[in-house]
Amino acid sequence: MASILETLGIEPRLILVTLVGFLILLFVLSKYAFGPLVATLQARQDKIKGDLDDAQARRDEMVALQRDYETRLAAIEDEARDKIQSAVKEAQLARDQILHKAHDDAQAIVQRGQEEAIAERAKLLVDSRNQIVDLATLMARQSAKENLSVAGQANLIDDAIAKIGALN
């Protein structure tokens, strides 16, 4: 084997020195360069992972807030719908009460008008009777004063009918 190495121009001692130097360099680099570099890369990886976890947590929180907002909005819409329906029912009830009161008031006015008409008619009948009685009394006085014949009484009745027609 030494002959092959010598043929190629390679010295085994040089290989050994190079190998020991390489191992020392590898040890020094791993302790002072690769360790901090790996630690920096690990810290960066942990930071990125933490940032991604924070972003996911914020996203989950935003989704939860959105659901909460939608739930609240639906509840507000339901409440508004209920209030509108309640207001419509109250308005219909008020309208019905107003119409009922107006109908009752109209009935009362018609009833009063009818009662007043009946009272006025009764009063007119009483006045007419009184006038007829007065007229009959007047005719009887004249008949008694004049002691009229049948023709005279007929003239007196015609005069009374004419006076009654003039009173109306």
145 neighbors 135 (Cβ within 8 angstroms): no
More confident residue, 20 or 166: 20
Q: Is residue 111 part of a domain?
A: yes
Q: Is residue 133 part of a domain?
A: no
**Distance, CA of 79 to CA of 14 (rounded, Å):** 91
**Distance, CA of 90 to CA of 98 (rounded, Å):** 12
Q: Is the pTM of this model over 0.75?
A: no
Q: Is residue 158 part of a domain?
A: no
What are the tens digits of pLDDT across the range 36-75?
A: 888 889 999 999 999 999 999 999 999 999 999 999 999 9
* Residue 148 clears pLDDT 70, i.e. is over it: no
Q: Is residue 88 part of a domain?
A: yes
Domain carrying residue 108: 2-126
Q: Is residue 70 part of a domain?
A: yes
**Distance, CA of 29 to CA of 116 (rounded, Å):** 125
Q: Is residue 96 part of a domain?
A: yes
The count of structural domains within the chain is 1
Q: What six digits make up the tokens of 42?
A: 């690990």
11 in helix, strand or coil? Answer: coil
157 neighbors 151 (Cβ within 8 angstroms): no
What are the tens digits of pLDDT across the range 2-41?
A: 677 677 777 778 888 999 999 999 888 888 888 788 888 9
Q: Which residues contact 9 (CB under 8 A, 6 or more apart)?
A: none
